[in-house]
Amino acid sequence: MNYTEDKLFDKIKFQEEALEIGEYENCIFRQCDFSNTNLSEIKFIDCEFIGSNLSLAVLTKTAFRDIKFNECKMLGLHFENCNEFGLAFTFENCQLNHSSFYKTIIKKTTFNNCQLIEVDFTECELTGSIFESCDLNNAVFNNTNIEKVDFRTAFNYSIDPELNRIKMAKFSIQGIPGLLNKYNIDIEN
């Protein structure tokens, strides 16, 4: 099995050049195009993806351990198919629209300035996570554990407190309508 450490991958189109199945540790993937590629069974450990496109990549048993995604386009990804052992990442300035975290355990995950439009967080374990300045328009929270999650600067969310575990979650006063949507009431400033 291939083992690659401390390598910079710069501006590579992985549809044309295959990424070998193996383990990639402490590597940087800068402005790489993984869109529609098969990343199944590849292990990424302490890696950083910068300005890369991973949209519609296949993530079957893909391992993401302590990964940083910065300014990445990540549309339509199915994180529930990833290897769940050690699954940990942070997202900064990323587009994750139409992705799914169904039943994933991603405690203490940071989403900073991300688009999370129509993302599925159904039955997800998000305890202690942070949604800093994130657009959660039409994101789905159903039977989701959002205890101690910080939504204070997030916007456009709709979360039903009766269908989710929300103890000690943090919301701003501007976010209160997102907790009361199901009641179809008009809240004015």
Q: What is the pLDDT of residues 20-40, one digit of tens each?
A: 999 999 999 999 999 999 999
pLDDT digits (tens, 9 = 90+) for 100-156: 999 999 999 999 999 999 999 999 999 999 999 999 999 999 999 999 999 999 999
The C-alpha atoms of residue 117 and residue 156 are separated, in whole angstroms, by 9
Q: What is the pLDDT of residue 151?
A: 98
pTM of the model: 0.94
User: How high is the pLDDT of residue 185?
Assistant: 74
DSSP character at residue 174? G
DSSP 3-state of 173: helix
Give the pLDDT confidence of 44-96 residue by residue, as tens digits.
Answer: 999 999 999 999 999 999 999 999 999 999 999 999 999 999 999 999 999 99
What is the distance between the terminal CA atoms of the chain, rounded to a whole angstrom? Answer: 60
pLDDT averaged over the chain? 95
The pLDDT of residue 78: 98
Question: How buried is 38 (Cβ within 10 angstroms: 0-12 exposed, 13-18 middle, 19+ buried)?
Answer: middle
CB within 8 A of 172, min separation 6: which ones? 151, 152, 153
> Contact, 67 vs 86, CB < 8 A?
no
Tokens 């701003």 belong to residue: 172
d(CA 28, CA 60): 21
